[in-house]
Chains A and B, each alone.
Chain A
Amino acid sequence: MDHPIQTDYLRWIVLLPLLGAVWNGLLGAQLQKRLGKWVISLFACGPVVGSFLLSVAAFQDLLSREPEQRFLIDRVYPWITLATLNVDVAFWVDPLSAVMILVVTGIGGLIHIYSVGYMHDDRSFWRYFAFLNLFTFAMLMLVTADNLLLMFIGWEGVGLCSYALIGFWYHDHVNTRAGNKAFLVNRVGDFGFILGIFLIFWSLDHHGHATVTFREIQKFVSLLQGQEIWGIGVITLATLFLFLGATGKSAQIPLHVWLPDAMQGPTPVSALIHAATMVTAGVYMIVRLHFLYSLAPLTLHVVAFIGLATALGAATIALTQTDIKRVLAYSTISQLGYMFLGAGVAAYGAAIFHLMTHAFFKACLFLGSGSVIHAMGGEQDMRNMGGLRRHMPWTFLTFTVAVLAIAGTPLTAGFFSKDEILWQAFSSPHGTPLLWFFGVVGAGLTAFYMFRQLFLVFFGECRANHHVKEHLHESPAVMTLPLVVLAVGSIVAGWIGAPAAFAPMFGPNLFAAWLEPVVGGRHEAQGSATLEEILMVLSVSVAAAGVYLAYRMYFKRSLSPERFSSLANGRPYRLFFNKYYVDEFYQSVFVDGALKLARVGAWIDEHIIDFIVDGSAKTTAFVSWLNGLFDNYVIDGLVNAVADGTFWAGGKFRKVQTGNINSYLYVILGAVIVVIIVKLRYGS
């Protein structure tokens, strides 16, 4: 770990999709018009496939080295250099980010190819791919950044692309509203994320080691132990702040509300962004910073609790939904909850393992549902589906495999990864049997609602109208081929992480060994192989019970769903169906509250501040008016009075000036006499 291997090709893993995005973003409209959509597809899929090949190369590069030396870095340039803040644009690949880049470019590449078929009739084909490539770039940046701030570029960048793609069909405000909601809710999370970065930075600065680089933080993290702010340990507070960011990005309680609405976007987007990659960023972030989280037991408990609550809450909502994509959306939230449960009991490897297998089967499910929606002419309500297995054999087959995987059928990928999390929840030093128990309940619910979906969509009679029925068709190969690859992955991807009990069949747990240099060894409870196997059997039985119930209710139809929905006067059902009324609560408290405050602010400006401003102007004007009156009547009055008096006097005295010499002489004579008299009387 101490001597990373310098390379200069990692940057291209990240930058190739950016080039595709810029190319199609700037020239796509013209290219599409002049040369057709195939050019766009080429420039969109090419870079992602290129990134994938480079990722494989990086993976092999790592593989060829000793486990403790598996660490490649590519420093591009110093990004921000200011006093103690030194942030490089640098990409690194260690075993953890290697898993992530393979998932992002591999599954991302498949979804790009699938999209060529799915989006073929869309006028804004080029815009779709520009954003899909931009997303891939941002996501790769997120998982290869060597520091928190660079990661944040990817973190918000994926949010931007998610926003743009949810509202891709922007003519309808239902879609744009969903996009806004996603971005805003994520901003709340980002707010926490950025504060977490600040806190880490300054807490380390306190010891003279200010940094945001992962490796440096890891090196100095022990210095932070015992340090406090506002009476809380800084590590605890920082990890909680960062976890707030994770709840936003990964749709966990309390910021889970955006993901179901995000299903308004094109279905491949739901598969790539809102199932396989972006929404797992929160899990990745926690595992990336596991050295911090491991030092904050309180935060770990919060993470585990939130994860479990989300897993159960979302699963109960999924039971009642009828939109094919919404079921999958809640299922995604629920599965992400399992990943956080794993991270929360410090089973970081297990969380990443589930992240990886989930990417396969959930992408497969979403793309399968896309294939169904495509065939049904845009229909998404499962109540209008049914019997599709006859019309769409490949879609049906792959969908079924993925359902088996997510339900935890033994030997599928989902079985191994979910049981690893449940086992760790039970046996890890941070776990308790209670966590395990509720996790198993959730697994049962998962099996139920997924099989409910399978039966409603593919079995029974087709409930669609005539028009739709006539057009039912299997999707083209460009769409079914990715489905097949993902379905195969939904099974075999789990084999590399099979526990010891399956060692004779699948060999040792390669996945845990691969991540060991990053997150440390898998926690093994003492002499517990048998216990692990017993718990495994238990959880599989609960899942099987869920499947059986779904089979009775939606296949055989021998058990009416009303028997459950009308329990306790239907109150629980309504609660689930209405998503616990969280949306309504947020709307009335936060959205309406902010708008109300906004109006108050505008009112203050208009009626108080401007009242004072205009008022002082008016007062001044009034005073100057008074001033004018004073001028007019008092001062000018005096002036005029003087003038008038002079004038009047002049009029009077004019009579004196007669022009008659005699009268002048009389006046002069009179005056002289007066002077003489005065002189004589008062002279002495």
Chain B
Amino acid sequence: MTDHVLTYMTFFPVAGMVAVLLLPRERHDLIRWVSALFTVPPLLLAVWLFRNFDRANPGFQFIEKFDWIPAYNIQYFVGVDGISISMVLLTALLSFLCIFASWGIDKGVKGYFALFLLLDAGMMGVFVALDFFLFYIFWEVMLLPMYFLIGIWGGPRREYAAIKFFLYTLFGSVLMLLAILALYFTTEPHTFDMTQLIAQSDRYGTTPLPFWPFDQLRWGFQHVVWMALFIGFAIKIPAFPFHTWLPDAHVEAPTAISVILAGVLLKMGTYGILRINYSMFPEATGDLAFWFLGALGAWNIIYGALCAMAQKDLKKLVAYSSVSHMGYVMLGMATFTPHGINGAVLQMFNHGTITGMLFLMVGVIYDRAHHRDIEGFGGVAAIMPVYTGVSAFAIFASMGLPGLSGFISEVLVLLGAWQKYPVLSVLGASGVILTAGYLLWTVQRVFLGATNEKYKTMPEINGRELFTMIPLAVIILIVGVYPSVVLDLLSASLEQLNQAVIPHLG
């Protein structure tokens, strides 16, 4: 079993999807439990992976590799290293929890859970794939169920949101596909194998580009491919100005899908940049990272926070907070210091748990009040004290309260940024003030103040809802108190990545 651990993790949900499809459509509870059952093995394997991952090895582990379509040199090739391990763990955890967060879905239950499991498989696949073609397949596999999950089970404007999401991402996918083909035909022999693509990265600097006038400026093939990939990934992060699909998608998506969207999908953007842009184009990365990751990241932090402050819809506010928090990831990545880059990947993990919790929090109150208007609540603390306690925990974690996980990653990012770009570090740090501003204001308007008579009888958060949030809270606390639990997984691989780029920094 352990030889194929990653394959099992990826394809168990597919088996689950098949199982769900075979069940009678009216047996809702059966469908739910079967779905839950099929997310358990990946979670257990994730725990196993966490225990057995070799923290000192910067290379790929748990590799599986065989020819898939030999005519085009396409392989089934999976493995994990420090860049992906935390995302694999996060995906397994959130998939499991989100099944329970989906318990309230009662329209088209069978279709929902089948698509959810397919989505799960697609996400896991993206993080473990080491063949670029396979990577692309999983990337697209994940896009499709997402479109339907938003478009069918979403809120009132679900179709607009789903199409916007789909078109934005498809636009990115097309650019990525072109980049993949460009790389394929540049390598000799033609290959999609990422390790090969990395090994041959010297070629990309010398590959001529037809109709390209800027060769004398040292800007060429690798920069163009870098940008194509970057735009594809930036849409997922989402980086300004490609971020406007996010608030709409989040607002319309069902709770669990928002959690997946923020917790896992956004990370694919930054993961892709690390895995592909950084590894394959160290030179172009050295040239472009400052503007497109560092400066843009700082801008994301502040711009996202400001937009969040202006929102009236609670879910949209959380969505914009993601824009802001993902800015820290970008800024950290751009520093090429161990602190910054480890902080960035840790921030990816932390944002998954923290924002996941925030979306679960929104879901709980939305299920009761049937609206998300921030001004429409008030005094929830008196009606639902336990819910308020858990929510306050998530909100303060999002604010980067020391002792919780978000603090560690933000401080590492800003610390790293200070050495390279002190001004960006100052800007990023000032984002912390804005974050406190909009989050505290939200706490005040939703939870505090006089009790709103309309919601006097709102029931307290129930056991199932607590079950989805408490594990995340525990992780947030553990990582805050003992961050090495995650950092040790990351640092060896990230150091290697840094060392590849550093010689090319201007």
Binding site for B on A (CB under 8 A): 25, 29, 77-85, 149, 152-153, 155-157, 160, 163, 167, 170-173, 176-177, 179-180, 183-184, 187-188, 190-191, 194-195, 197-199, 201-202, 205, 229, 594-595, 597-602, 605, 609-610, 613, 617
Min CB distance, A591 to chain B, in Å? Answer: 9
| A188 vs B430: C-alpha distance when bound (angstroms) | 8
| Alpha-carbon separation in the docked complex, A163 to B440 (Å) | 10
Q: List 6 A-B pairs, minimum CB-CB distance, nearest first.
A: A83-B338, A602-B310, A598-B309, A153-B402, A598-B310, A601-B306
**Could you tell me the dominant secondary structure of chain B's interface residues?**
helix
Chain B residues within an 8 Å CB radius of A184: 433, 436-437, 440
Within 8 A of A (CB), among B323-359: 337-339, 342
Residue of A79, A149, A195, A599 touching B426 (CB-CB under 8 A): A195
Can you show 30 pairs from A to B with CB atoms below 8 A apart?
A77-B482, A79-B481, A80-B408, A82-B339, A83-B342, A156-B402, A163-B440, A170-B379, A171-B450, A171-B451, A173-B444, A176-B444, A180-B440, A180-B444, A183-B436, A183-B440, A202-B418, A229-B422, A594-B309, A594-B434, A598-B310, A601-B306, A601-B307, A605-B244, A605-B307, A609-B241, A609-B244, A610-B244, A613-B244, A617-B164
Residue pair A195, B429 in contact (C-beta under 8 Å): yes
Told that A187-B432, A617-B163 touch, could you supply 11 new A-B pairs with CB distance under 8 A?
A: A79-B483, A83-B338, A170-B448, A183-B440, A187-B433, A191-B430, A201-B418, A595-B309, A598-B307, A598-B309, A605-B244
**Residue contact A173 to B449, C-beta cutoff 8 Å:** yes
Distance to closest chain A CB from B301 (angstroms): 12
Main secondary structure of the interface of A (DSSP, over half): helix
Contact A198 B309 (CB under 8 A): no
From known contacts A157-B402, A167-B448, A173-B444, infer whether A82 and B342 are also in contact, taking CB-CB under 8 Å: yes
Q: Which residues of A contact B449 (CB under 8 A)?
A: 170-173, 176
**A191 B402 Cβ-Cβ under 8 A:** no
A80 B379 Cβ-Cβ under 8 A? no
Judged by a CB distance under 8 angstroms, whether B303 is at the interface is: yes
Given contact pairs A85-B339, A171-B382, A195 touches B307 in the complex (Cβ within 8 A): no
- Shortest Cβ distance from A208 into chain B, in angstroms? 14
Judged by a CB distance under 8 angstroms, whether B381 is at the interface is: yes
* Bound Cα distance A229, B396 (Å): 33
Q: Which residues of B contact A160 (CB under 8 A)?
A: 396, 401
Asked if B59 is at the interface (CB within 8 A of a chain A CB), the reply is no
**B303 and A601: CB pair below 8 A?**
yes
Q: Is B105 an interface residue (CB 8 A)?
A: no
Nearest Cβ in chain B — how far from A263, in angstroms?
Answer: 18
Query: Which chain A positions have C-beta within 8 A of B412?
Result: 80, 82, 85
Contact size range, B? 35 or more
> In the complex, how many angstroms separate the beta carbon of B228 from the nearest chain A beta carbon?
18
Q: Render B435-462 as a binary contact track against A, CB cut-off 8 A, 1 for contact.
A: 0111011001001111100000000000
Bound together, the chains give a CA A29 to CA B444 distance in angstroms of: 22
**B496 beta carbon closer than 8 Å to chain A:** no
- Whole-angstrom CA separation of A642 from B495 in the bound complex: 69
* A81 nearest CB neighbor, chain B only: B484
- Decide: A195 and B339 in contact? CB cutoff 8 A: no
Point out the residues of chain A lying under 8 angstroms from B402, CB to CB. 152-153, 155-157
Once bound together, how far apart are the Cα atoms of A167 and B448, in whole Å? 9
Which residues from B are CB-within-8-Å of A80? 408, 412, 483-484, 487
Residues of B within 8 A of A191 (CB): 429-430, 432-433
Which chain B residues lie closer than 8 Å to A179 at the CB level? 440
| A residues in contact with B342, CB < 8 Å | 82-83
A173 to B396, CA, bound (A): 20
Residues of chain B within 8 A of A81, CB atoms compared: 484, 487
Q: Does B83 contact A (CB under 8 A)?
A: no
Residue B414 at the A interface, CB < 8 A? Answer: yes
A602 to B447, CA, bound (A): 24
Instruction: Specify the chain A residue showing the minimal Cβ separation from B311.
Output: A602
B300-328 residues with Cβ-Cβ distance < 8 A to A are: 303, 306-311
Decide yes or no: A613 and B448 within 8 Å by CB, A82-B338, A152-B402, A156-B401 being known contacts: no
A613 and B164: CB pair below 8 A?
A: yes
Residues B373-407 near A (CB distance < 8 A): 379, 381-382, 385, 389, 396, 401-403, 407
State the CA gap A591–B469 with chains docked (Å).
Answer: 33
For the complex, is B425 an interface residue (Cβ under 8 Å from A)? yes
Of the residues B245, B247, B306, contact of A598 by C-beta under 8 Å: B306
Closest chain-B Cβ to A230's Cβ sits at a distance in Å of: 8
* Alpha-carbon distance A193/B245, docked complex (angstroms): 36
Chain A contacts for B247, CB-based, 8 A: 605
A227 smallest CB distance to B (angstroms): 14
Q: Please report the C-alpha to C-alpha distance between residue A155 and residue B401 in the assembled complex, in whole angstroms.
A: 10
The answer to whether the Cβ of B415 comes within 8 Å of any Cβ in the partner chain is: yes
A617 and B419 CA atoms in complex are apart in Å by 43
- A82 cross-chain contacts in B, Cβ below 8 A: 338-339, 342, 412, 487, 491
